[in-house]
Chains A and B, each alone.
Chain A
């Protein structure tokens, strides 16, 4: 396992083979029937055995919201904290405990409204956290107010005449914060989500995974066009590193870079296959990934990319903190408390 997941080399391995069942806690799952959170939970529980980590060295930390109940259902260590603060709390844990695999579970309100500051700082510092952001474009737990990812004009209880807020695009926000790993996947696509989780787990540093999640009670069908077999292929492009970015029926559409530097979706036959952009998730410059994140129409969902937008190497913050301490100890020797408090200017009273 250590080869597949070098980022987890400091986390002790399980002595026995695991199955999804090992990760189910004894608590009754209490999301609304039909909620997209169920499939995410089962996907994560199904994926974790692949990492082969000691269960007690895995920690799930969440904020507040429907998604944030997630840790209670995982038979690992877990903390259900306060609204928006999970990335900050997880940062302290990651810095002090390199032997843990730490997952942050958050939602669009938790991560992007009340906790926006902590999210961007965890990402820019590149703390070794895997952040799963369940985006359902609504406040579920407080019973249906618009969220920072709700489309403008959204009718909700708090916006009976339509919301006036311009929406955040979580992937754009993360790329703007220079996150080293940014991906998007879908609650209902087990195979794709597993691939993304695998890539995130293998990444050293912060990984932001936006998961399009359906809240069937307050915002049902928000992502339906991307799930419906009749429309999805036409709307959604799957990003694969090194592959030309093509989608649509018969892969007739593709992404090209215009002479002014902007990206555009074109007819492949017209533009010519050789013109189609190859996705480079490892590009140091986040510019192209950001441009891809801006292609989607937030209302119609036309041209929505999913997959890994960006996956680059940068030493994680927590590792740098520990390395700096080790270097200082090497250079100065371990601290001597008596010498510290004595200082250099003392006098004796007899």
Chain B
């Protein structure tokens, strides 16, 4: 039976099920096939902190949202057009986000009395009219999967587990996705279990043919290739792996061996995992006994001349603060990656937030300036890692790289750069004495600075004639010897600050996107809000209101033109997933009346929320 094919411009699908239902895998596979078709896309996984929360409960629901389109998109979409709910808990947790009229695919097998009671449904929503407003496709996914696999010598449980592949097959047909990648993926994953492999392949095919033949789906959809993307070779990429590859690239481009000292923490651990896979790049990874040892080992490696990195999330940064202060005092290159999550304390380990900006900025004793950079999207993690390394190495300083849970686990297509085009980083190791003592002998002064950058020489152990001692006690300007002299301390505090401030000279000016050139409102963001802000600005402009957008990738120091940019708009809006941390810094530094748009719900902004906020701000002008 050939069905009518309908062309769509943009689709947002949300897969939702129990933690054990394999929704993240299903979403990942669908994403890969979608990427392969050349659609632009953006993803948002949302999973519980517990590895296996009690089955069938709302806290145990794991979801994966994917937006794909025939044009450039920047967000995973505010609301799905299609919700796949594998059980009543998934329906309960996600129905409120589904606009009326949307498609809803439910696995009827799971809508048992017991499961309904578990999530507080007094009656079956499939039967009581609750879902009247939706286009419901009630499908017995589990039993149809089991039926399709009855010839296989696998247990019933194993057959049931393949229902996510059945669902994937069905959706793949519905949206005209490819199947080759999924077949290859399954072959690799179950290489050692041929029977399970065959069953999963069969479940996928069965789901596909069911889609083709069932009357439940009257049409098939297609989404054309995104046409407005720049030409070149693309791949799909998530933030954490992109960040890991950026670090490897920085190691190659600087000629410094990469050293990671880390302690497992959500949502940063995947960077440790990824780097641990690539030891053939000479990458050294030490999973330390705690967060402090992770950064300690990294600092030791930095002292020895490595490109040193520690990766963590907010609670880990709190533990590392003292060592970051030591790195500030020692003036050694060190990259501190903070994949932010909801706080305070343990907070929301698997949910996103941007609330560590002030911790990165000020969370140490003493005057302890640390440069800060932040990626604006998953693929930008690659470039920002190189930038963090550049600043760290050339200025001999620890650098904060503030990613977040949304960027870390979200994905988007990436125009893969050519390695030949990547910037190089010059470690410029000290090899010679740099001072002549009064008695005429050559000496090495570890704190004699480069007059332009104010960076001190990096003299690694093993360099003959440059033996010296450094430490956390205040050092005399130049010699680096212990000094308690008040004048010297005052000078050193100012020098360290001036060095970090001076990095601004190497940072590109902030670029403002204002197609009209007449906007009076600027929406300024940092980090993962880039996508939602961009989408909101576009919608606002289409509605006839001029609005300008700018995004900061450097948070300390700021680009040199930032003050001028801020002062050239009547209103500056700063959306942040915190209570106004960037806003506070901007107000303090530029005396501009920043208006914050703030939320901390563990999820990225919806562009519609920002559209409303921009409109509201425009009304008050």
Residues of A within 8 A of B (CB): 12, 25, 27, 54-59, 61, 64, 71-72, 74-82, 85, 88-97, 99-100, 117-118, 121, 321, 324-325, 328-329, 332-335, 337-338, 340-343, 345-350
Contact = CB atoms under 8 A, between A and B. Distances in A.
B296 A100 contact: no
Interface residues on B, range: 35 or more
Nearest to A321: B284
Contact of B300 (A27, A91, A341): A91
B193 interface: no
Contact of A97 (B261, B289, B304, B330): B304
Given A89-B296, A92-B259, A95-B297, A82 B323 contact: yes
Given A79-B470, A325-B284, A340-B248, A96 B279 contact: no
B290 to A, nearest CB: 6
Contacts of A77: 461, 467-469
Given A95-B284, A95-B286, A346 B259 contact: no
Nearest to B38: A347
B396 to A, nearest CB: 15
A54 B293 CA distance: 29
Contact of B248 (A71, A85, A337): A337
Q: Which 7 residue pairs are nearest across A and B when measured between Cβ atoms? A: A80-B471, A92-B300, A88-B296, A92-B297, A335-B281, A88-B293, A93-B300
A345 B35 contact: yes
A95 B466 CA distance: 22
Nearest to B464: A56
Interface string B273-303: 0000011111110101110110011111111
Given A88-B297, A324-B279, A325-B279, A75 B467 contact: yes
B461 A71 contact: no
29 contacts: A12-B462, A27-B469, A57-B461, A71-B471, A77-B469, A78-B470, A80-B470, A81-B296, A88-B296, A89-B296, A91-B296, A91-B300, A92-B298, A92-B299, A93-B303, A96-B305, A118-B293, A321-B284, A325-B282, A325-B284, A332-B280, A334-B280, A335-B282, A337-B248, A341-B235, A346-B233, A348-B234, A349-B232, A350-B231
A332 B382 CA distance: 24
A96 B606 CA distance: 45
A346 B416 CA distance: 9
Given A91-B296, A329-B282, A349-B231, A96 B301 contact: yes
Contacts of B296: 81, 85, 88-89, 91-92, 118
B54 interface: no
Contacts of A347: 35-38, 233-235
Nearest to A73: B469
DSSP class of B's interface residues: helix, strand, loop or mixed?
mixed
Interface stretch (B11-19, B208-216, B222-230, B564-572): B222-230
Nearest to B32: A345
B453 interface: no
A15 to B, nearest CB: 9
Interface string B412-431: 00001111000000000000
Given A77-B467, A88-B296, 17 more contacts: A61-B300, A80-B473, A82-B326, A85-B292, A88-B293, A90-B300, A91-B293, A95-B259, A97-B305, A334-B280, A340-B281, A341-B416, A343-B235, A345-B235, A347-B35, A347-B38, A349-B229
A294 to B, nearest CB: 26
B280 A54 contact: no
B252 interface: yes
Contacts of A76: 467
Contacts of B36: 345, 347
Contact of B416 (A81, A95, A342): A342
Nearest to B473: A80
A347 B305 CA distance: 38
Nearest to B256: A96
Interface string B362-384: 00000000000000000000100
Interface string B431-474: 00000000000000000000000000000011111111111110
Contact of A341 (B181, B306, B382, B470): B382
Nearest to A89: B300
A333 B280 contact: yes
Contact of B469 (A78, A85, A324, A340): A78
B43 interface: no
Contacts of B230: 349
A30 B110 CA distance: 75
B42 interface: no
B257 interface: yes
A253 to B, nearest CB: 40
B236 interface: yes
A12 B462 CA distance: 9
Nearest to A68: B471
B230, B261, B461 — most chain A CB neighbours (10 Å) = B461
B76 to A, nearest CB: 19
Contacts of B419: 337-338, 341
B233 A342 contact: yes
Contacts of B35: 345, 347
Nearest to B278: A335
A75 B466 CA distance: 10
A61 B470 CA distance: 10
A95, A99, A118, A321 — most chain B CB neighbours (10 Å) = A95
A334 B280 CA distance: 5
A337 B463 CA distance: 30
B334 to A, nearest CB: 10
Interface string B462-494: 111111111111000000011000000000000
A59 to B, nearest CB: 5
B576 to A, nearest CB: 31
B501 interface: no
Nearest to B39: A347
B104 to A, nearest CB: 30
